[in-house]
Structure 1
Amino acid sequence: MSRRFRAEQFTDSGWSSGTREKKARFTNALIRFIDNDCPEEAFTTALYDGLSTHGYFGFIAHYDRHGFYTAQLSTPERRARFLDSLLRACERDAHTDRPDLWSDVKHALLQHHANENTPASS
């Protein structure tokens, strides 16, 4: 089971779309979504907004949530490209102190990815 991120681990972005609580909900929802292999029925408006607008990950909106899902997540190859792009966006900004660009969320996502991909000790 994935670690749950809490609101106090984030900083308000200065915008209503980036409160500490919304950032925590988004981070936890995105991790669950990815860990469950990106099922279309779980791709919510909040995830779409966070990835295409509020989160500053560099993804274009594709006009709506369904277009975004089709273009970015609808096949295993597209999911792999999406995850690669997501991690690159996180690596680009995670080290900055820019809560307005969701650097704290990006740091949390990289931390989760590193923990999930670290071999267990024998």
Structure 2
Amino acid sequence: MATPRYRPEQFVDSGWDSGTPERKARFVNSLLRFIADDFPRERFTRPLCLGLSTHGYFGFIAHYDIHGFYDEQMSTPARRERFLSDLASDCQKDAHLDRPDLWSDVKAILAIRLMPQAEQAPAARRLAPSSSFGTRPPAAGPDAPTLF
């Protein structure tokens, strides 16, 4: 994943010292570099941990300290995959909000950056009908009871 540099002017002040545009830009840049470099433990810093667990409202709160956070979320490939999935899901859920106090501006950027490559490219596909009106219900299977 290439990591572009985000600048403070791309973010809105949250109204809290922890959510200045400068801190938000620093957080996004650090997090994306950290992920791109495959989660090096020595680069999981206190500001990065705080951004994920308290300041950024990403939902990662049930950890005793920075070491417990890393161990629980990033210490194995399976945990990293789950962490990225949970982070992407949270970001996509809140990205549309106009709530800089909840870091929706940060989440909007992360939602796009963490989206799987397959979902980023527009794919030609047949659209499903918008309504089920007029469609036949599925036929009962051989072991399903019939009432009439």
TM-score normalised to structure 2 length: 0.76
Partner of 1:27: 28
Runs ≥4 residues deviating over 6 A: none
Aligned residue number for residue 95 of structure 1: 96
C-alpha contact (below 8 Å) 2:84/2:114 kept by paired residues: no
What secondary structure sits across from 1:4 in the alignment? coil
Number of residue pairs matched? 118
Map of 1:63 onto structure 2? 64
Deviations 1:91-113 (A, max 9, x none): 11000000000000001112223
Aligned to 1:10: 11
Aligned equivalents of 1:103, 1:33: Cα separation in 2? 21
Larger radius of gyration: 2
What does residue 39 of structure 1 align with? 40
Contiguous gaps of at least 5 residues in structure 2: 122-148
Q: Distance in 2 between matches of 1:60 and 1:75?
A: 19
User: 1:73 deviation in Å?
Assistant: 0.4
Q: In structure 1, what is the Cα distance between the partners aligned to 2:11 and 2:85? A: 23
Structure 1 unmatched runs, 5+: none
What is the CA distance between 1:60 and its match in structure 2? 1.5
Q: Is the 8 A contact 1:53 1:61 kept in 2?
A: no
Structure having the larger proportion of residues in helix: 1
| Higher-RCO chain (CA-CA 8 Å, sequence separation at least 6) | 1
Q: Secondary structure at the match of 1:32?
A: helix
Partner Cα distance (2:19, 2:52) in 1: 12
Structure 2 Cα separation of the partners of residues 4 and 91 of structure 1: 21
How high is the TM-score relative to the length of structure 1?
Answer: 0.92
Residue 85 of structure 1 aligns to which amino acid in structure 2?
Answer: D
Whole-Å separation in 2 of the counterparts to 1:35 and 1:2:
7
* Superposed CA offset, 1:17-73 (max 9, x none): 000000000000000000111110110001000000000001114111001000000
Distance across 2 between alignment mates of 1:13 and 1:63: 26
